[in-house]
Amino acid sequence: MAISPFEERYRTEMNAIFEDGNKLRRWMDVEIALARVHARMGTIPKEAAKQIEEGAKKVKPERVLEIEAEIHHDLMAMVRALSEQSGDAGKYVHLGATSYDIEDTATALIFLDAIRTLDTRLGTLAGVLRDLAKKHRKTVCVGRTHGQHAVPTTYGLKFAIHYQELLRNRERLKEAKKRIGVGKMSGATGTMATFGAKGIEIQAAVMKELGLEPAKASNQVVQRDRHAEVLCDLALAAALLEKIAKEIRNLQRTEIMEVSEPFGKKQVGSSTMPQKRNPHKCERVCSLARLVRANVQTAFENIALEHERDLTNSANERAVFGESFIAVDYMASEMTKILQGLEFFPENIERNLNLTHGLIMSERLMIALTEKGMGRQEAHELVRELAQKAFREKKDLKALVKEKKLLPDKELDLIFDPHTYIGCAERIVEEAVKD
C-alpha cells in the first residue's frame, strides 16, 4: 500500500520522470557519456565505452538495491552493478568522477524532462483559459474589491487575466531551463584533480554529449540556488492555480452561485448532508499549493551547505523535487478539467449585478456629473451621501437621483445600465488572448 498520495491518488505522467527506475537510467546515461569522452580522449580503450553502454542495458534495479543494502551507498551500488555487466570495461566505469558528478548532472536531465512535460500540461490549460476568455468577453458580472461589490467587469476579463499570468509562469520555467540545465564533472571539491590537465575539456565534452551546459565553477555539488529557482517557479505556477480555484470556490458560495465546478450525477458532496455540492476539486488544488510553497523553504535551506558540501540536502531532495513537480502537474490537470466543465448560472450573475439596487453605478454617476460641470470632489461627496442614504433606506440609488433632478431620465437610464459600463474590457480581452 502506498504511503505517499503522489504514488497513486495524485499520480500523473510526471511520476515516471522521478521514479527510481528513471533516476537509475539517467545516472547510467551520465556514466555512458563520461566513458565515451574518455574513449575519445584516449584515457580508456575505445571499445570500453561501447561495452559500458551495452552493460547499462543489462543492469537490473533489483541488483542495484541488493548491493546498496550491503554498502549503504546508492550511487556506488549503481557503479558496481554497471561494472558487473560491462566485462573487462567495468574497471573504467566512473573513472575520475565523484558521486555528485553523476547525480547532479542526472538531476539536470530529469528537471529538463519534467519542465518540458509540465509545459505541455500548462499549454493545454492556457488553451482552455483563452477559449473561456473569448467566449465570455461580453458576459458582464459584478466586480468585487475587498469582498464588496465594486463596478461591473466581465468573466472574459477574469479569464484573460489568468491566461496572461499563466503565460508568465511558462516563460519563467523556460528561463529556468537555462540555469538548471547545467551539469558538472569536477570531482570531490570542484578542482577536477582526478582528470588532471584535461578536466575542463572532459567536463565540457561530457555535458555536450548530454545536451547540458557545464558549470563554470562548482564544488562537490551543483549549487542549489539553481534548484531553488525552479521550485520557486513551480510555487508561482501553483499560486496561480490556487488563485483560479479560490475564485471559483468563492463564486460557488450558495449565496453567490455564479459558477460551479463540475458535479457528477452520482457525486456525493457530504456523508451527512445530501444536498451539498462542495467545490472539493478546487479545494484540493488550494491544499496542494500550500505543499508546493512549503517545499520552496526546504530548497532555500539547501543552498547554504557547509564548505564544499554536506549531505543535509540529499534526503529532503528525494521528496521535494518529485513532489513539487507532480503536485503542480496534477493541479494543472485538475484545473483544466474543472474549467472545461465549469458551470455558469446566468440568472445569478444578473441577480448579483443588480443586488445593490444601482449602488455599483455610483462611479459612473459621479463621472457624468463632472461632465456636466460639477467639480470632481463635489460630485464624489454628493454621490457618496446619496449612496449611503440608498443603503440605509434600502432604496434604489437611481430613484434618489431622480428626486434631485440632477440629470435627465434618459441619461440616468444609460448611467444605471451595468451592461454598458465595462469600458475597454472587450478590447483588453482581445489583445490579451490574440497570441
Q: What gap in Å lies between CA 259 and CA 252, rounded to an integer? A: 5
Rounded to a whole number, what is the distance in angstroms from the first to the last CA of the chain?
A: 46
Neighbouring C-beta atoms of residue 150, cutoff 10 Å: 14
Q: Catalytic: 94?
A: no
Q: Catalytic: 357?
A: no
Residues 6+ apart with CB under 8 A from 360: 142, 149, 150, 151, 152, 353, 418
Which residue in 4, 83, 99, 146 is the catalytic one? Answer: 146
- Strand-pairing partners, residue 344, are 259
- Select from 293, 180, 288, 298 the least CA-distant residue to 236: 293
Kind and range of the H or E run holding 356: none
Contact, 387 vs 359, CB < 8 A?
A: yes
Q: What gap in Å lies between CA 326 and CA 150, rounded to an integer? A: 38
Contact, 167 vs 377, CB < 8 A?
A: no
Residues 6+ apart with CB under 8 A from 334: 281, 284, 285
Grouping H, G, I as helix, E, B as strand and the rest as coil, residue 205 is helix
Tell me the three cell numbers of residue 337. Answer: 478539467
Query: Which pairs with CB-CB distance under 8 Å and at least 24 residues apart come from 198-202?
Result: 198/41, 198/43, 201/41, 202/34, 202/37, 202/38, 202/41, 202/96
Contact, 69 vs 51, CB < 8 A?
A: no
Strand spans (E) along 316-411: 343-344
Which residue in 4, 73, 270, 419 is the catalytic one? Answer: 270
| Cα angle 377-143-148, degrees, rounded to a multiple of 5 | 75
| Packing angle, helices 362-371 and 397-404, rounded to 10 | 20
- Select from 213, 189, 186 the least CA-distant residue to 202: 186
Q: How far is CA 280 from CA 6, 8, 243, in A?
A: 18, 18, 15
Active centre residues (catalytic): 146, 270
